[in-house]
């Protein structure tokens, strides 16, 4: 049945901000205009409200949703040990992964985000069931999701420049976490199982980063992505320590190494890209690859400032992401858009500052390129992923200020109705597709269980702390060009 959204202020990056109607049939927008009618349609009265495309979160890790507030004042490489890989770790079983993904999805949908790229890590022992559980969560709640199976075959310590410090010999040994064949067989089966199952869901591949994968695994992954015509998301230059790693392993330029592997293209998105050098920017632009900027997470981990204004000027596709909840905490894209607009003012002259319209454009347009989906606009032929916000409470003022008001003062509290793939999934500010209370109850139990293992993880972390602190100090002193800090 059709839905007609009547009389709202229509906001997207391409159209004048004016009153109009939106007609949805199936999962698509079929008409945008004045006085649109459809016999028997569900009518949503949007008079006095803002109707805009749903926001796109182009990088997170749903397995971290139960780790909000995990750590503070820890730089990235140390955080990696505590949050993701250290001590007893957090071996989330398939049901845990389902609940964790639900928790993130509830937060995103109720703050106006309709689409997500989730780099999801599951245990190799239950890879199939873990991936299926997360896909099922997005299917049940009705969110558009590209879920990248995240994997690596090398130990975390292979990805940091231990040669710069006096590290224990045991850390320098190369340890394979899983065999390339085993990972790729499971990954291929995952793509096959989910490729045509649900139009809102896209299975993708997510090799963790080029430094955490053997050359064999990374290049075979690229081959599989192309063979299956699917998509890839990975991490790129997310900490300063990756610059000396690139010099040691890739002859200096990680981006050119990726290019040599055939890993760049509009089907590939790379999270962070903080330490991209000036001469790597044109390579990214030409290949039409996407950089996903995660300004909140980057600040929390003190990882650096990505050269987003320079990327934007060079016409590199830039999307926005919250990153996982153990580093970026909230999954609220209003917070991410505000931070993306403000952060670069610290490192750039005013003529290069980004504004609220840039944040919205990166979120919608960059997000649509990263997802490979026809989303992010109010226009016929685009997917019916929309967010309706009430006005008059927090947002008062002339319509010329609307983008500024949304990016700088909205936190998602005005979100009233959310439609994803033509289905109403949030009504009156509440997710309607699942029993939120029950999920939150189960999430509390899961969180308590995971946090009970924290003392053990902290103990393992403390053993490594001197090495990590030595690394931070040494890398911090590296005389890298200032242009890696701004742009």
Q: Residue 254 CB, nearest distance to Zn ion (Å)?
A: 16
Tokens of 140: 């049940």
Distance in Å, CB of 234 to Zn ion, minimum:
9
What the block records as the tokens of 459 is: 């103990």
Asked whether the beta carbons of 53 and 24 are under 8 A apart, the reply is no
Residue number, 82 or 271, with CB nearest to Zn ion? 271
Angle at 359 between CA 22 and CA 229, to 5 degrees: 75
Strands (E), 123-182: 144-151
Provide the 10 A C-beta neighbour count for residue 454: 17
Per-residue contact flags (x/-) with Zn ion for residues 426 to 465, judged by CB under 5 A: ----------------------------------------
Q: Which of residues 177-216 bind Zn ion (CB under 5 A)?
A: none
**Of residues 358-397, those binding Zn ion (CB under 5 A):** none
Toward Zn ion, which CB reaches closer, 80 or 337? 80
Site for Zn ion in 4-23 (CB under 5 A): none
CB of 323 to Zn ion, least distance (A): 5
DSSP 266: T
User: Which CB atom, from 221 or from 402, has the smaller least distance to Zn ion?
Assistant: 221
Contacts of 380 (CB under 8 A, 6+ apart): 28, 29, 30, 31, 32
* Least spacing, CB of residue 110 vs Zn ion, in Å: 23
Complex with Zn ion: residue 143 or 271, whichever CB lies closer: 271
Stretch 216-275 residues interacting with Zn ion (CB under 5 A): 271
- At residue 20, the 3 state secondary structure works out as strand
DSSP class of 350: G
Size of the site for Zn ion (CB under 5 A): 1
Q: Which is nearer to Zn ion, 86 or 421 (CB)?
A: 86
What part of residues 46-105 is at the interface with Zn ion (CB under 5 A)? none
Nearest-approach distance from CB 253 to Zn ion, in angstroms:
21
Please say which residue, 23 or 97, places its beta carbon nearer to Zn ion: 97
- CB closer to Zn ion, 275 vs 382: 275
On the 0-12 / 13-18 / 19+ scale of CB atoms within 10 A, 400 is exposed
Q: Show the site string, 269-308: x = touches Zn ion by CB under 5 A, - = not.
A: --x-------------------------------------
From the CA atom positions of the chain, what is the Rg in Å?
22
Which helix or strand (DSSP H or E) is residue 112 part of? Answer: none
Six-digit token pair at 210? 């080029």
Which among 106, 121, 141 has a CA at the least distance from the CA of 441?
106
**Which residue number, 63 or 359, has a Cβ lying nearer to Zn ion?**
63
Closest approach of Cβ 59 to Zn ion, in Å?
6
Question: What span, in angstroms and rounded, lies between the C-alpha atoms of 285 and 269?
Answer: 12
Q: Which residue is at the shortest CB distance from Zn ion? A: 271
Beta sheet of 144-151, edge-to-edge order? 55-60, 113-120, 144-151, 201-207, 232-236, 268-272, 290-293, 317-320
| Rounded CA separation 288/291 (Å) | 10
Tokens of residue 330, six digits? 């909230």
Least distance to Zn ion from the beta carbon of 208, Å? 8
Q: Which residues pair with 383 in a beta bridge?
A: 28
Closer residue to Zn ion, CB minimum distance, 145 or 271: 271
Q: How many helices (H) and strands (E) does the chain have?
A: 17, 17
Q: Which is nearer to Zn ion, 160 or 389 (CB)?
A: 160
> Least CB distance from residue 67 to Zn ion, whole Å?
13
CB of 212 to Zn ion, least distance (A): 12
Rounded least distance, CB 29 to Zn ion, Å: 31
**Interaction site with Zn ion (CB under 5 A):** 271
């Amino acid at each position: 049945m059709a839905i007609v959204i009547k009389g709202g202020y229509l906001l997207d990056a391409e159209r004048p901000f004016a009153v109009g109607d939106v007609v949805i049939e199936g999962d698509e927008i079929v008409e945008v205009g004045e006085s649109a009618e459809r016999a028997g349609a569900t009518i949503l009265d949007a008079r006095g409200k803002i109707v805009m495309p749903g926001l796109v979160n182009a990088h997170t890790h749903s397995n971290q949703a139960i780790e909000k507030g995990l750590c503070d004042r820890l730089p990235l490489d140390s955080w990696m040990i505590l949050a993701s890989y250290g001590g007893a770790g957090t071996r989330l079983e398939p049901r845990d992964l389902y609940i964790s993904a639900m928790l993130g999805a509830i937060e995103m949908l109720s703050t106006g985000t309709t689409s997500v790229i989730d780099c999801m890590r599951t245990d190799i022992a239950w890879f199939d069931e873990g991936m299926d559980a997360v896909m099922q969560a997005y299917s049940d709640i009705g969110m558009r999701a590209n879920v990248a199976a995240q994997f690596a075959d090398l130990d975390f310590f292979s990805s940091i420049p231990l040669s710069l410090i006096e590290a224990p010999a045991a850390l320098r040994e190369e340890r394979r976490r899983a065999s390339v064949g085993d990972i790729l067989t499971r990954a291929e089966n995952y793509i096959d199982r989910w490729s045509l199952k649900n139009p809102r869901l896209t299975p993708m591949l997510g090799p963790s980063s080029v430094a955490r994968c053997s050359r064999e695994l990374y290049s075979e992954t690229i081959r599989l992505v192309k063979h299956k015509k699917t998509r890839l998301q990975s991490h790129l230059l997310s900490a300063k320590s990756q610059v000396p790693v690139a010099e040691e392993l890739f002859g200096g330029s990680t981006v050119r190494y990726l290019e040599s592997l055939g890993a760049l293209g509009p089907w590939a998105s790379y999270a962070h890209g903080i330490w991209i050098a000036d001469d790597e920017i044109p390579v990214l632009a030409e290949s039409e690859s996407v950089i996903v900027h995660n300004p909140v997470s980057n600040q929390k981990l003190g990882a650096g400032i990505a050269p987003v204004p320079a990327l934007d000027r060079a016409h590199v596709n830039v999307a926005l992401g919250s990153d996982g909840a153990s580093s970026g905490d909230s999954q609220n894209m209003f917070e991410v858009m505000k931070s993306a607009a403000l952060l670069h003012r610290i490192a750039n002259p005013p003529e290069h500052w980004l504004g609220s319209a840039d944040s919205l454009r990166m979120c919608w347009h960059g997000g649509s390129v990263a997802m490979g989906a026809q989303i992010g606009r109010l226009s016929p032929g685009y997917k019916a992923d929309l967010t309706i916000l009430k006005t008059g409470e927090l947002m008062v003022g002339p319509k010329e200020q609307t983008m500024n008001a949304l990016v700088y003062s909205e936190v998602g509290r005005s979100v009233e109705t959310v439609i994803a793939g033509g289905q109403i999934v949030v009504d009156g500010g509440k997710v309607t597709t699942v029993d939120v209370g029950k999920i939150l109850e189960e999430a509390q139990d899961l969180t308590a269980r995971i946090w009970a293992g924290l003392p053990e993880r902290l103990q393992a972390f403390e053993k490594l702390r001197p090495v990590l602190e030595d690394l931070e100090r040494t890398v911090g002193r590296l005389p890298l060009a200032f242009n890696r800090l701004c742009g």
